[in-house]
Amino acid sequence: MRALEAIPVVVETLDAETGVVPALLRELDDALQGLLDRGTHHLIDLSTMPMSAADRRALEQALGTGELTMELAALGRSQIRETSFPGVWWVRHQDPQGRTLAEHVEVAIVPEIAQAHASDIERGRRRLGTLIGRQTSGRGT
Amino acid sequence: MTQGRNPTILEVFQQQGLSRRAFLQFCAATASLLALPAVRAAELPAKLGAMPRPTVIYLSFQECTGCLESLTRSFSPTIENLIFNTISLDYNDTLQAASGDAAEAAREDAMRKAAGKYVLIVDGAIPRLQDGAYCVIGGKSALDSLRHAAEGAAAVVAVGTCAAFGGIPYAAPNPTGAVPVQDLVGNRPVINISGCPPIPEVITGTIVYFLSFGVPELDVHRRPLMFYGNTIHDRCYRRPFYDKGLFAKTFDDEGARNGWCLYELGCKGPVTYNACATTKWNNGTSFPIESGHGCLGCSEPNFWDGGGFYRPLSSGFWHGNVGAELGGAVAAGAIIGAASAYAARHRQKATSGDK
Amino acid sequence: MDLLNIARGPALQWSLVVFAVGVVWRLAGILLLARKPDYTEPRSTNTWGGAVRMIVSRTWSKREFLDRTAFAQTIGYVFHIGLAIVVFGFVPHILFIRSLTGLGWPGLPSGIIYVTGALTLAALAAALVRRLTNPVLRLLSNVDDYFSWLVTVAPVATGLVAVAHLGARYETLLAVHIFSVCLLLAWLPFGKLMHSFLVFISRGTTGALLARKGASI
């Protein structure tokens, strides 16, 4: 492994802003309007967007951090962070090894993945029912 | 619980103890992997989740099991092999728990029930000589099994270069008469996922795409363009060295240590289409060139017979002894030349008289 | 890749054979011709020296003729030198020659090769324009002239198209490029491109004869 690390891998990244951030901000503004008027969700996938490192920093800086941060531990780990603009959320999905799998900015009241879904609720209720059953029958009163 | 119909893929996920949130994480990761446009990415959870768990029949023929190993033997369960496990493991000779006649009967039953709708995944080539006697499973030749299974399939996915292009059984002299799947299946959509083995994410990504949106855009070799649209060369991080003319000459020289281009050491990157340079292997750890070895071209047809893994792409692809041939050519030329000179001299003497 | 394997395999191999047969045939056929015996007293016996001197001295026109020949000569040098740089300086080409002869040498950065190739193409185009617009040349030109131009331009053009990935899959463009080289190799001994060998023989012979006569070279 040491020999592998001894090979210098020089990655030349374009570290200047490409101008995509103002365009993204306008897209988010439109999406927020859509959310207020029609309740529609919007998603901007950052993983596949050609962004330089400088662009990413600029976007993070522009959006800032809001009041609410959520950690999701399901299949992998996900961080859901509200930006300083309510309704605009920064979502990052990581696999169990910590590698970022997907990253997007979502415009929603609450990101879909944070909400409890009917099918999950139903399954939970069945488990709750079993638990209640065990408690009432096992303990008597 | 609804009995009597196939559970949806979401239900299968949930039956494995995973929440819908986990399913959404999977969809987000897959949408990113497939580089789906925003509209499609938004549709993916709904479409895939509501899809009834497809019947997937996995047949293995003349293969080394490397493709299946690539997919299932990872250190920890990855999202890729999870979807594969979730939807594809029922009818797979290597992985299923059942065996023997009962297992064969169960598979036949499933194929009958899902006739016209099941996905057929094939790995390995199919030998044709001696009526297919070189690959017989459970008393049936691979040739017959494939023909029979393809009849009721909605689509056929050929996993690995052996299934897609014939691979190593097809390489010269091809003693068993091996042929790829697409040579035998004419009237069903065939998707080739070539590679020796293919990248696991490419296999599952293609299957997920197919289940959600149908057959993806394919290249001239029927491989999904979203993974096979670019050559390794066009996405290789060592490309700047190629452009500057800096090449490693041997495997341990200064150039190799500095990570220079491996063209002189036989890299077939310029003519190989695959996702290795971007998606990489083992969860994005590395790929052959990053580890210091040239690309073998393993996702291309006839890569085994391409002239040698360590001979540069531009070197001569000679058959036989080219030195002897050229020596013979020079001798032949000399003879013809001398003969024509002799004839000319004869004429020269005749026209110029005695002097 | 099968078209590519045909191009870099049997096609290239056969065209090299035809090239070898053709070159040796023509050289033998010319060198073995009878020469009239010269009974005059030689002014100098250093005929080989004369041959070499003439080969060198004729590389550029004499001052008296420069007005009329400078343009064509310059264009000619641009594409000849350009071809040499591209053929012998591009690493994949060097590796091909090494696979055939065992000889190799360091190459040039690819960017330089691409620019040189473009300049070579431009010079070849200029040469064709001159041939088509100059009335004397137009009158004298025949199929050999035009076809030889075509088989010389084709490898340069297809090579540039291949590295630029223009118009088709890379392996197809590469196959087309190699086929064009096969055509060049097969045609070379039989048309005016044979001057690549004969120019040294013809200039040398003239130089030898003039040296023998004591004329200036």
Q: Which of C23, C32, C165 sits opposite B338 (nearest CB)?
A: C32
CB-CB under 8 Å, C9 with B333: no
Q: Which of C18, C29, C99 sits opposite B340 (nearest CB)?
A: C29
User: Above 50 in pLDDT, residue A115?
Assistant: yes
Q: Which of A8, A44, A97 sits opposite B283 (nearest CB)?
A: A97
CA-to-CA dists, residue A92 to A46, A47, C89, angstroms: 10, 10, 49
Q: Return d(Cα C44, Cα B297) in angstroms, integer.
A: 64
User: Above 50 in pLDDT, residue B202?
Assistant: yes
Crossing angle of helices C143-163 and C66-89, rounded to 10°: 40
Q: Return d(Cα B194, Cα B208) in angstroms, integer.
A: 17
pLDDT of residue B73: 55
CB interface of A with B, residues 94-133, below 8 Å: 95-97, 99, 101-104, 112-114, 117, 119-120, 123
Task: Tell whether B168 is within 8 A of chain A (Cβ).
Answer: no
pLDDT of residue B39: 79
Q: Which chains touch A (3 or more CB pairs under 8 A)?
A: B
pLDDT of residue B7: 81
Contacts of C4 in chain B (CB under 8 A): 271
Query: Who has greater pLDDT, B18 or C30?
Result: C30
User: Above 50 in pLDDT, residue B2?
Assistant: no
**pLDDT by residue (tens digit) across A16-75?**
677 788 989 999 999 999 999 999 989 888 876 777 778 888 999 999 999 999 999 887
Chains B and A share 3 or more Cβ pairs within 8 Å:
yes
CB-CB under 8 Å, C25 with B333: yes
Contacts of B330 in chain C (CB under 8 A): 20-21, 24
**pLDDT by residue (tens digit) across C14-40?**
999 999 999 999 999 999 998 888 898
Q: What band does B84 get if pLDDT is binned at 50, 70 and 90?
A: low
Q: What band does C186 get if pLDDT is binned at 50, 70 and 90?
A: very high
Q: Which chains touch C (3 or more CB pairs under 8 A)?
A: B
Task: Tell whether B334 is within 8 A of chain C (Cβ).
Answer: yes
User: Considering only B247-251, B316-320, C52-56, which range has the smallest mean pLDDT?
Assistant: B316-320
Query: Residue C199: in which H helix or E strand, if any?
Result: helix C195-213
Helix intervals (H) in chain B: 9-15, 20-33, 38-50, 66-72, 79-88, 100-113, 129-132, 142-151, 161-165, 167-170, 200-213, 225-228, 232-235, 239-244, 254-257, 322-352
**pLDDT by residue (tens digit) across B237-266?**
888 888 888 899 999 899 998 889 999 999
Q: The domain spanning residue C100 has which CATH number?
A: 1.20.950.20
User: Above 50 in pLDDT, residue B197?
Assistant: yes
Count of domains in chain C? 1
Task: Tally Cβ neighbours within 10 Å of residue A96.
Answer: 14
**pLDDT by residue (tens digit) across C73-114?**
999 999 999 999 999 999 999 999 999 999 999 999 999 999
CB-CB under 8 Å, C5 with B317: yes
Q: Which of A7, A113, A119 sits opposite B259 (nearest CB)?
A: A7
User: Above 60 in pLDDT, residue C68?
Assistant: yes
pLDDT of residue C28: 94
Yes or no: say if C11 and B317 are a contact pair by the CB < 8 Å rule: no
Mean pLDDT along residues B34-53: 83
Domain extents in chain B: 54-227, 230-325
Mean pLDDT along residues B202-209: 85
Query: Who has greater pLDDT, C158 or B11?
Result: C158
Q: What band does B316 get if pLDDT is binned at 50, 70 and 90?
A: confident
Closest chain B CA to residue C34: B345
pLDDT of residue B1: 39
Mean pLDDT along residues B99-123: 87
pTM of the model: 0.82
Q: Burial code of B201-239, b = ≥16 C-beta within 10 A, e = fewer?
A: bbbbbbbbbbbbeebbebeebbbbebbbebbbbebbbbe
pLDDT of residue B279: 83
pLDDT of residue B42: 83
**pLDDT by residue (tens digit) across C117-157?**
999 999 999 999 999 999 999 999 999 999 999 999 999 99
Q: Which of B24, B35, B257 sits opposite A6 (nearest CB)?
A: B257
pLDDT of residue B18: 84
CB-CB under 8 Å, A119 with B25: no
C-alpha angle B189/B195/B198, rounded to 5°?
A: 85
The ipTM is: 0.85
User: Above 90 in pLDDT, residue B56?
Assistant: no
Chains A and C share 3 or more Cβ pairs within 8 Å:
no
Closest chain B CA to residue C111: B243
Strands A100-107 and A88-94: antiparallel
Mean pLDDT of the residues in chain A? 85
pLDDT of residue A4: 65
CA dihedral B123, B127, B131, B136 (to 10 degrees): -50
Q: In chain C, what percentage of residues exceed pLDDT 70?
A: 100
**pLDDT by residue (tens digit) across B162-174?**
999 999 999 999 9
CB-CB under 8 Å, B271 with C4: yes
pLDDT of residue A12: 59
Mean pLDDT along residues B284-313: 92
Mean pLDDT along residues B271-291: 88
Output phi, psi for C105, to 5 deg: -155, 165
Closest chain C CA to residue B353: C36
| Strand stretches in B184-323, DSSP E | 190-193
Handedness of CA C194, C195, C198, C200 (dihedral sign): negative
CATH superfamily of B54-227: NADH:ubiquinone oxidoreductase-like, 20kDa subunit (3.40.50.700)
CB-CB under 8 Å, B14 with A74: no
pLDDT of residue B278: 85
Closest chain B CA to residue C37: B355
pLDDT of residue B75: 42
Q: In chain B, what percentage of residues exceed pLDDT 70?
A: 92
CB-CB under 8 Å, A117 with B79: no
CATH superfamily of B230-325: Cytochrome-c3 hydrogenase, C-terminal domain (4.10.480.10)
Mean pLDDT along residues B47-74: 83
User: Considering only A94-98, B200-204, C77-81, C165-169, which range has the smallest mean pLDDT?
Assistant: A94-98
Mean pLDDT of the residues in chain B? 87
User: Above 60 in pLDDT, residue C191?
Assistant: yes
Mean pLDDT along residues B176-192: 95
Chains C and B share 3 or more Cβ pairs within 8 Å:
yes
Q: Return d(Cα B10, Cα B31) in angstroms, integer.
A: 16
Contacts of A101 in chain B (CB under 8 A): 25, 28-29, 32-33, 79
Q: What is the domain extent for residue C104? A: 3-16+65-198
Non-local (6+) Cβ contacts of C105 within 8 A are C88, C94
Output phi, psi for B51, to 5 deg: -70, 130
Q: How far is C193 from chain B (nearest CA, A)?
A: 18
User: Above 80 in pLDDT, residue B79?
Assistant: no
**pLDDT by residue (tens digit) across C162-173?**
999 999 999 999
Q: What band does B81 get if pLDDT is binned at 50, 70 and 90?
A: low
Q: How far is A140 from chain B (nearest CA, A)?
A: 30
Contacts of B332 in chain C (CB under 8 A): 21, 24
